[in-house]
Chain A
């Protein structure tokens, strides 16, 4: 007879003291979701490979050598496709990893299996969320760093501040992946059905992204201070470079954000995204603790 724990049959107090360790719950999460995680990793791998291939070409031939129009078109198309794919990645995390996490268990009835086992429902949820979030964060940081490397030859002043691209850099990108995933988890727990939860995630994520990218980033990230001309311009509203003004000796008051604050803003955005994700997960915990199976 093989025992994992002493039986303590009939005593009533032995098993209560025992708890299911976190690493065992992590294994259960991995076994249940490894196919979806592998698919997500393959997708990330494809993006990384495409970025590496085009990035190497970009780095090998500096922009000066992009003489022909067709090369520019190719670069432009690649950049657009890449940015779009990366922007979509957090939604995909929400749709295919977040939304089914709890909702599928409700749909198939397996919640009536998992909620009566040794680990309580909160611990089961947190173990699953933590493991998947960790793997997603690793993927996000990797892709974000690669994107920065990829875009280096294209560096024009202020590119990294562009409201639509700011979130593709680590650590903000990791925050967005967390948000997409958490949104899916919460929608799944609240709705209890996978496809409607996916639809809700798909509807809510772009709305949140727009709020941050098109509103917060423009008003806060670029919160422009009244200042004189500054050589370390990094954020521009008009498209005129400081050089343009200097060349023409135009005295102008411009508003700008020093380039050195870029990392600070990255962490601010990351912090907010993680805080919102944590709130969503806390809400999910409350939901499933109250919810009947």
Chain B
């Protein structure tokens, strides 16, 4: 089952295209990181999946064919929007009761246990909670709905490192306990590797990269050398991004495992951060399932 599937998806806000030509199929059972710079279209894509927006063009389904925003989709998706919007004038305990009364499924005991564990006082108004406590409350509400899929829009953007670590830790615990699928957006790339096992990179409203993290890392290398002409071993190989530093050229190369490293170049494994940054720095580069690499074969690298 796919949790989000779209084809030709586009969304325009007045004259600006926030998302264009988006073809994507995210399978269930993953923790999916949706990465991109500010304004890349991450929030637009997630709001479309949550049914808060309608596409300008194309189609999008969730949970294996459900219409976003339909009763079934709302019941089975836990969505936490950017900045975790909650009713600020209510105490946290009453916020829980409001969410419970708005939900089809709800596990109250678990929600209360979770809040006690994370130190969110039930009698304090939501507006008086710290950023971390507020994010924990929003996550607790989303989890108490017993969702099949959790969609989180920039859950850690406004949090300090400690709160960020705690939130991600409790998210991972919930994922392990419930076998949830999770989609979260982030522009913080440093911690993705230990959290996400599926990566989607969006840049300037277009999809650049999508796939399982393990396969993506295995399919990319960092090559370091003096520069000049370089012949890549196969047609499936491509230079994603090239940079020069200290008289050395550094390349992020899409290179299937087993391909020969070109002569004169040193190879090392790419990290997830290398991958994300490499693709984001070159918006023309794409690696999407079923598409040919953007550049292949003979390439000239600046010395």
A residues within 8 Å of B by Cβ?
1-10, 12-13, 15-16, 18-20, 24-25, 27-28, 31-32, 35, 108-120, 124, 292-293
CB distance from A263 to the nearest CB of B (A): 41
Query: When the two chains form the complex, which single residue of A6, A12, A116, A292 contacts B72, counting CB atoms closer than 8 Å?
Result: A12
The answer to whether A13 touches B50, judged by C-beta atoms less than 8 angstroms apart, is: no
Query: When the two chains form the complex, which single residue of B47, B94, B106, B148 contacts A5, counting CB atoms closer than 8 Å?
Result: B106
Additional 15 contacts, C-beta under 8 A, given A116-B74, A117-B99: A12-B76, A15-B71, A15-B105, A16-B70, A16-B71, A32-B90, A108-B87, A110-B85, A112-B50, A116-B69, A117-B102, A117-B145, A118-B74, A120-B69, A292-B53
Query: When the two chains form the complex, which single residue of A15, A28, A109 contacts B101, counting CB atoms closer than 8 Å?
Result: A28
Is B75 interfacial (CB 8 A cutoff)? yes
Is B170 interfacial (CB 8 A cutoff)? no
CB distance from A62 to the nearest CB of B (A): 50
- Which residue of chain A is the closest to B63 with respect to CB atoms? A12
Inter-chain CA distance A35–B66, complex, in Å, is 39
- Which residue of chain B is the closest to A112 with respect to CB atoms? B81
B residues within 8 Å of A by Cβ?
47, 50-54, 63-64, 66, 69-72, 74-77, 79, 81-83, 85-90, 94, 97-110, 145-146, 148
Inter-chain CA distance A2–B111, complex, in Å, is 10
- Which residue of chain A is the closest to B109 with respect to CB atoms? A2
Inter-chain CA distance A238–B10, complex, in Å, is 68
Given A16-B71, A110-B85, check contact A293 B103 (CB 8 Å): no
The answer to whether A4 touches B108, judged by C-beta atoms less than 8 angstroms apart, is: yes
The answer to whether A116 touches B104, judged by C-beta atoms less than 8 angstroms apart, is: no
For residue B101, which residues in chain A have a CB less than 8 angstroms away from its CB?
20, 24-25, 27-28
Interface of A is mostly: loop
The answer to whether A118 touches B72, judged by C-beta atoms less than 8 angstroms apart, is: no
CB distance from B232 to the nearest CB of A (A): 44
Given A3-B105, A20-B102, A116-B74, check contact A109 B87 (CB 8 Å): no
Interface of B is mostly: loop
The answer to whether B107 touches A15, judged by C-beta atoms less than 8 angstroms apart, is: no
Query: When the two chains form the complex, which single residue of A8, A32, A292 contacts B87, counting CB atoms closer than 8 Å?
Result: A32
Inter-chain CA distance A31–B106, complex, in Å, is 19
Query: When the two chains form the complex, which single residue of B54, B75, B79, B85 contacts A15, counting CB atoms closer than 8 Å?
Result: B75
Q: List 19 A-B contacts (CB under 8 A).
A: A1-B110, A4-B108, A5-B104, A8-B105, A13-B72, A15-B104, A18-B105, A20-B104, A28-B102, A32-B87, A110-B86, A111-B85, A112-B47, A112-B50, A115-B69, A117-B145, A118-B71, A118-B145, A119-B102
Given A19-B71, A31-B98, A115-B52, check contact A109 B103 (CB 8 Å): no
For residue B94, which residues in chain A have a CB less than 8 angstroms away from its CB?
31
For residue A5, which residues in chain B have a CB less than 8 angstroms away from its CB?
104-106
The answer to whether A120 touches B71, judged by C-beta atoms less than 8 angstroms apart, is: yes
Inter-chain CA distance A2–B106, complex, in Å, is 8
Inter-chain CA distance A12–B74, complex, in Å, is 11
The answer to whether B85 touches A25, judged by C-beta atoms less than 8 angstroms apart, is: no
Query: When the two chains form the complex, which single residue of A1, A109, A112, A124 contacts B107, counting CB atoms closer than 8 Å?
Result: A1
Task: Kindly name the residue among B54, B77, B146 whose own CB sees the greatest number of chain A CB atoms within 10 A.
Answer: B146
The answer to whether B85 touches A116, judged by C-beta atoms less than 8 angstroms apart, is: no
The answer to whether A9 touches B88, judged by C-beta atoms less than 8 angstroms apart, is: no
Given A12-B64, A13-B72, A110-B85, check contact A116 B51 (CB 8 Å): yes
For residue B70, which residues in chain A have a CB less than 8 angstroms away from its CB?
16
Inter-chain CA distance A112–B154, complex, in Å, is 14
Inter-chain CA distance A232–B79, complex, in Å, is 67
For residue A115, which residues in chain B have a CB less than 8 angstroms away from its CB?
51-52, 69
CB distance from A194 to the nearest CB of B (A): 14
Inter-chain CA distance A10–B181, complex, in Å, is 11
